[in-house]
Amino acid sequence: MKVAIIGQGYVGLTISAFAGEYFEVVGFDNNQRIVDQLNNGISHIEGVESSQLANLVKSGSYSASTVGSDIADADLVVIAVPTPLSKDRQPDLTFIEAACKTIGENVTKSVLVINESTSFPGTLRNYIKPAIERYSNRPLEHLYAISPERVDPGRGDFNQKNTPRLYAGLTSEASAKTRDFYSKFCDQLVEVSSPEVAEAAKLFENTFRQVNIALVNEFAQIAHSLGISVYETLDAANTKPYGFMKFTPSAGVGGHCIPVDPTYLAATAEKHGAPATFIRRANEVNLEMSKYVVDRVQADNGGSLQGKSVLVVGVAYKPNVADVRETAAELVIEHLRKRGAVVSWHDDVVKSWNGESSSLLSGADIALVITKHDDVKERDILASAPYVFDTTGKVAGAKGL
């Protein structure tokens, strides 16, 4: 069976690697540079080793392409493209629209189309299916299903194989064929009653995390005002064996899920006349943490950052990955520069970002830790500046939240 996977980023390439062990896979992506890398057996993401990819390419079970006609004879198509927010922070289905266009214009026979991209309830039924049919000039009867991705980049204990996977089809036949596909490389499949349930569940999973992160970020501010350690207090609360789940404070949230998915849920709720006040406020709290962090640093440094050199340590959105999407470091740096600070950044994983290169971990007046990768030693961070403020709770001896 030939499987076409639209999008070869963190989600699409991961699925390609697992599916490539059982099927012929063609990975479609619009980025020619990435496609050339992939066809040379070079992975561009954490979670897929280049050695594994090279073996799949060599065996002929995986190839990448920017040419739509290369998916023409696929038996199954997976959509795995980004679903970001627009400039006015509304759901943006531009990439899904492009994927539907690629499928509709090129696939020449009836296939199963599975959407893995995160989106609001109703996307599969009311958007993807009509869009593919609109772009196709062939009388085809595609099957449609949803199985939302649950990729957590950089995580070693859970992956595509051992993470339970939700799925649902628009028809029972679509559900059955979806189960047959994923059962080859997923240990646990959970069928739900409709695509809308699966879509909503994925959004709620990440909204749950966003809300709890906002709660602990607000509590960090309360703890500081009371003169107590937020970390000790959280550890104390965590001794309760039930009814409590520990989250830790930070400079904000980042990545492709937590800052984005709750907005998809809130937008859908409001469209249907339901309240999303709590979700919206949680997003605001997390965005406001960047200003709070800079306020703390400024207060500790004579009330002014004008002309001071500030080294932001870690600009990736989470430890041990090179992903900078929606990183909290961006807002932090913006606030620092507005206050006259001379800002540079250091990241052992991210080498270039926003047209700038990673600086040396030394020579600053102030070091502000946003993300701490495992390979970065605490003593090197502490030696990089006479004043170090740590938002991660991982640098002993530094000032912190």
Would you say residue 270 lies in a domain? no
Q: Which has the minimum average pLDDT: 104-113, 158-167, 213-222?
A: 158-167
The domain boundary, picked from 166, 193, 220, lies at 193
Would you say residue 275 lies in a domain? no
- Residue 157 banded pLDDT, cuts 50, 70, 90: confident
Query: 293: burial class by Cβ within 10 Å (0-12, 13-18, 19+)?
Result: buried
Same domain, 248 and 389: yes
Same domain, 254 and 149: no
CA-based torsion, 264, 267, 272, 278: positive or negative? positive
Would you say residue 373 lies in a domain? yes
Same domain, 97 and 217: no
- Residue 159 banded pLDDT, cuts 50, 70, 90: confident
Same domain, 225 and 150: no
User: Number of folded domains in the chain?
Assistant: 2
The domain boundary, picked from 162, 193, 224, lies at 193
Distances (CA, A) of 192 to 91, 147, 170: 24, 10, 11
Give mean pLDDT, residues 365-383: 97
Cite the active site residues: 257
- Give yes or no for residue 310 having a pLDDT over 90: yes
For the chain, what percentages of helix, strand and coil (3-state, to nearest 5) are there?
Answer: 40, 15, 45
Same domain, 146 and 244: no
Same domain, 237 and 378: yes
pLDDT at 153: 76
Same domain, 233 and 107: no
- Return the residue matching tokens 């050199």: 309
Same domain, 224 and 371: yes
Give mean pLDDT, residues 173-188: 97
Q: What is the DSSP letter of 360?
A: P
Q: Maximum CA pair distance of the chain?
A: 71
Would you say residue 181 lies in a domain? yes
Would you say residue 280 lies in a domain? no
Same domain, 178 and 215: no
Query: Can you give the pTM of this predicted structure?
Result: 0.93
- Give yes or no for residue 179 having a pLDDT over 80: yes
Six-digit token string for 311: 């080294």
Closest-CA residue to 306 (of 338, 344, 332, 339)? 339
CATH code at position 62: 3.40.50.720
Same domain, 102 and 137: yes
The domain boundary, picked from 169, 193, 217, lies at 193
Would you say residue 17 lies in a domain? yes
Would you say residue 52 lies in a domain? yes
Same domain, 9 and 56: yes
Closest-CA residue to 98 (of 13, 32, 45, 28)? 28
Distance, CA of 80 to CA of 155 (rounded, Å): 19
Determine the structural domain holding residue 370 and report its residue range.
205-262+288-400
Helices (H) and strands (E) in the chain, counts: 13, 15
Give mean pLDDT, residues 168-174: 98
Would you say residue 198 lies in a domain? no
At 31-81, the pLDDT tens digits run 999 999 999 999 999 889 999 999 999 999 999 999 999 999 999 999 999
Six-digit token string for 192: 């739900």
Same domain, 168 and 254: no
